[in-house]
Chain A
Amino acid sequence: MARAVYLDHASTTPADPEVIAAMLPWYTEGFGNPSTVYSLGLTAADVVQKSRESIAQTIGAQPDEIYFTSGGTESDNWAILGTADAQQKKGRHLITSVIEHHAVLESMEFLEKHGYEVTKVPVDSGGLVDPEDVRKAIRPDTVLVSIMHANNEVGTIEPIAEIGKITREAGVLFHVDAVQTAGKLPLDVTELGVDMLSMSAHKFYGPKGVGLMYLRKRARISPLLHGGGQEKGQRAGTHNVPGIVGMAKALELAKDRMNEDALREGALRDRLWTALQENIEAVHLNGDPVHRLPNNLNVRLDGIEGESMILMLDMQGICVSSGSACTTGSLEPSHVLRALGIPAEHAHGSLRVTLGRATTAEDIDRFMEVFPPIVARLREMSPIWCANCPCKKGN
């Protein structure tokens, strides 16, 4: 059996061994609670503060604007629910896009059930938000705009800085889900003009279960988690000290190698896309060909369904994702692909391949060795693949 080929880095990444090494002492000899006043706790508080400073510097923030959370989902929920609660005197209207992560969309839907109004701006066929649509959607009672930095399924990179200018002029808070871009693209919260930003460590070779929210000083939002007063009373819960240390280390490593990784993964991704077009008929790109994360390829294949592709690739040791209903845990195919104007029957046949640091040219070759026969087999099995259509018999 060939070695496993992991091509699902948008889903999660393996923690870097250097990250794990940095974390381990904080589980054992440095296990103290940073909220205590004896030296064991103070040492832990000190490393939390150093991590905060390191992360703040990387994203152009002040250390006291970084709040540690359990990950991207918590940060997104907090930004949206916390703003809605704190700003209700100003209004009860929020703006987001149709292709956000479920952590954003479902937080918005929760607010709708509680009497808030939400406007979802559309995207073009590549997944891009038009900043003018955001401008037009802003009302006197708008309290928050939440737009993702890059989409998790198709990798489209949104014009965040332009939207940031608009929200700044309008005096509306701006939250950005940067879960897919942290560690992959340069992030500067001032340049981007954002007030809040969500990150999750496990997406950039850090540990699972830890993330952060950047919250600009002048932005006032309510806490989501209430309790022991940690993080200046804004986010209760004992600090995940090893996780925080690991996240800071992972971001530091990512910053150092960001350009190199992007160029290398981008070249491999382009090579894969060329090979797919040369070796498989009726394969189409989903998403924007230019404004796109360098490690993301999302394609659809006529006449076949995504879960079957994933199961067959898994039998060959290859891990990828799909936007098929069967893989989203619902009856509906990906809301992102549907928002791009892709019909449901085609969205079911989509495949997301996301490369990472460990991806090699051999991995791409291995994928191309295995994948065309899988497509051929599933099309042979398919009642809607044209060659199988009774009307084609005898032609």
Chain B
Amino acid sequence: MYSELVMEHFRNPRNMGVIDDADGIGEVGNPQCGDMMRITIKVKDDVLEDIKFQTLGCGAAVATSSMVTEMAKGKKLDEALEISNKAVAEALGGLPPAKMHCSNLAADGLQAAIKDYRERHPAG
């Protein structure tokens, strides 16, 4: 069902956890749908210095969360905002069609976290 890369991220998720003194928090999805994620970020000089995720959901939800943190870490905020859900799925070698909508929300979570950071730090 899943590509080997998806399973590899599911088995060994990157950047799993929560940043306690996060500069921005993004939450997307909801438990009724069975998929929900929380992204916490640390920003320094307009760069994503650290990023962590917590995810409730299926294998695809976990793997896309892990992948988006890997893709975004160290990027400038504007660059990170350009990462799309589709790009995350492609980086994982594709997802089963049924998973493209319900479980592919990692980039949305990242964008929500960056938006939250910018609202909290209007001058930055």
Binding site for B on A (CB under 8 A): 303-308, 311, 315, 324-326, 329, 331, 333, 343-345, 348, 380-384, 388, 393
5 closest A-B pairs (Cβ-Cβ)?
A: A345-B31, A348-B34, A307-B58, A326-B58, A383-B38
Whether B103 lies near A388 (C-beta < 8 A) is: no
Q: How large is the interface on B (under 10, 10 to 19, 20 to 34, 35 or more residues)?
A: 20 to 34
CA of A306 to CA of B103 in the docked complex: distance in angstroms? Answer: 13
- B29-55: which residues lie under 8 A (CB-CB) from chain A? 30-38, 54-55
Binding site for A on B (CB under 8 A): 7, 10-11, 13, 16-18, 20, 27, 30-38, 54-62, 98-99, 101-103
Whether B31 lies near A384 (C-beta < 8 A) is: yes
Whether A388 lies near B32 (C-beta < 8 A) is: no
Not counting A308-B58, A326-B103, a sample of 13 additional A-B residue pairs whose C-beta atoms are within 8 angstroms of each other reads A305-B35, A307-B57, A326-B60, A331-B33, A331-B102, A344-B31, A344-B34, A345-B31, A381-B62, A383-B27, A383-B37, A383-B55, A393-B20
CA of A356 to CA of B118 in the docked complex: distance in angstroms? Answer: 57
CA of A305 to CA of B65 in the docked complex: distance in angstroms? Answer: 15
The residue from A315, A325, A380, A381 contacting B34, defined by CB atoms under 8 A apart: A325
Contact partners of B7 in chain A: CB under 8 A: 311
Whether B55 lies near A381 (C-beta < 8 A) is: yes
Q: How many residue-residue contacts, CB under 8 A, span A and B?
A: 75
The residue from A305, A315, A325, A329 contacting B56, defined by CB atoms under 8 A apart: A305
User: Among the interface residues A306, A333, A383, which one has the most CB atoms of the partner chain B within 10 A?
Assistant: A383
Contacts A304-B56, A381-B16, A381-B62; A345 near B37 (Cβ below 8 A):
no
CA of A348 to CA of B101 in the docked complex: distance in angstroms? Answer: 17
Whether A325 lies near B54 (C-beta < 8 A) is: no
Q: In angstroms, how far is the closest chain A Cβ from the Cβ of B9?
A: 12
The residue from B54, B99, B103 contacting A381, defined by CB atoms under 8 A apart: B54
Whether A308 lies near B18 (C-beta < 8 A) is: no
Whether B54 lies near A388 (C-beta < 8 A) is: yes
Contacts A331-B102, A383-B37, A393-B20; A348 near B54 (Cβ below 8 A):
no
Which residue of A is nearest B29, CB measured?
A: A383
Contacts A311-B10, A381-B16; A345 near B34 (Cβ below 8 A):
yes
Contact partners of B38 in chain A: CB under 8 A: 383
CA of A71 to CA of B56 in the docked complex: distance in angstroms? Answer: 37
Which residue of B is nearest A329, CB measured?
A: B98
